Amino acid sequence: MVSERLGGRLDGRRAIVTGAASGIGAAVVARLKADGAQVVTADVHGDVDYVADLTGETANAELVALALDRMGGLDTLVPCAGISAFQPLEGHEDAYFRRVLEVNLIAVFRLVRDAAPLLKAHGAGRIVTIGSTTSSFGDEGLCAYAASKHAVLGFTKSVAAELGPFGVTANCVQPGAIDTPMTAPAFTQMPEYRTFWEGKAPLRRLGQPQDIADVVAFLCSDDARFMSGHGVWVDGGAMVRH
């Protein structure tokens, strides 16, 4: 449910959201639009404005050009595209490790780099990256994923430092366990994993994509104008006991 009180909060904003066909990205698109933003969406599949594997060398530049053409400007980036799978350290293949870094880190870097001139020109640009609780902690079977998400948090902080003088804020939302197509196989195959995360969160449930989208919309809004360079936990309180 989208609160009517907040309708129009993002009027005039022009955003790119990646990973928009599914889970958190799809919820972010719905939320930003409900708040009045124009959004250009991207994903490797699905009913989006730009269908491409965003690890392609020129894909993010093309996406920025499309956004500029469609909306006449660009001030907000929410790169949500990401991949994850459990892979024990031993037997972990180079190609898989590299792929996780390409999708979760390098594609985010390229999007931010290629859009930076437009965000600076706007004067109040917003970048909201999607990290994870594994941007701050590790877990078994998640070496590649946690490495990529630690890196996204560090990248976001550095972008905040570099683009802050141009009025651009950059923050990294760190979701806990969210019920999406990404996590569905693990929660289905290992019900005890689902129970673990439900029990770990003081709020006693998994997160829903909307829980993340609402915080992303806040960080994209003028309400968050003096907030930059932070990792923002949205985890039902799960990490309070870490």
Ligand X SMILES: NC(=O)c1ccc[n+]([C@@H]2O[C@H](COP(=O)([O-])OP(=O)(O)OC[C@H]3O[C@@H](n4cnc5c(N)ncnc54)[C@H](O)[C@@H]3O)[C@@H](O)[C@H]2O)c1
Residues in touch with ligand X (CB under 6 A): 19, 21-25, 43-45, 53-55, 80-84, 103, 130, 132, 175, 177-178, 180-183
Shortest gap between Cβ of 4 and ligand X (angstroms)?
Answer: 26
Smallest gap, in angstroms, from Cβ of residue 8 to ligand X? 26
Q: Could you tell me the CA-to-CA distances from 108 to 56, 60, 92, 170, 214 in Å, in that order?
A: 12, 9, 23, 12, 21
Give me the residue label for tokens 């001139």: 117
**In terms of CB distance, is 82 or 231 closer to ligand X?**
82
Judged by beta carbon, residue 11 or residue 53, the one nearer ligand X is 53
Other CB atoms within 10 Å distance of the CB of residue 30:
18
Q: Output 108 or 118, the one with its CB closest to ligand X.
A: 108
Name the minimum Å distance from CB 167 to ligand X. 26
CA distance linking residue 162 with residue 59, whole number of Å:
24
Question: Can 145 be counted among the known catalytic residues?
Answer: yes
Contacts of 124 (CB under 8 A, 6+ apart): 75, 167, 168, 222, 225
Cβ at position 216, least distance to ligand X in Å: 10
What are phi and psi for residue 227, nearest 5 degrees?
Answer: -120, 115
The least CB distance from residue 1 to ligand X, in Å, is 19
In whole angstroms, give the CA distance from residue 155 to residue 38: 26
User: Burial of 58 by CB count in 10 Å (0-12 exposed, 13-18 middle, 19+ buried)?
Assistant: exposed
Beta carbon nearer to ligand X, 39 or 177: 177
Q: Which of 50, 96, 145, 193 is catalytic?
A: 145
- Residue closer to ligand X by CB (options 55, 221) is 55
Query: Are 85 and 103 a contacting pair, CB within 8 Å?
Result: no
The SS3 of residue 217 is: helix
Which residues form the catalytic set? Answer: 145
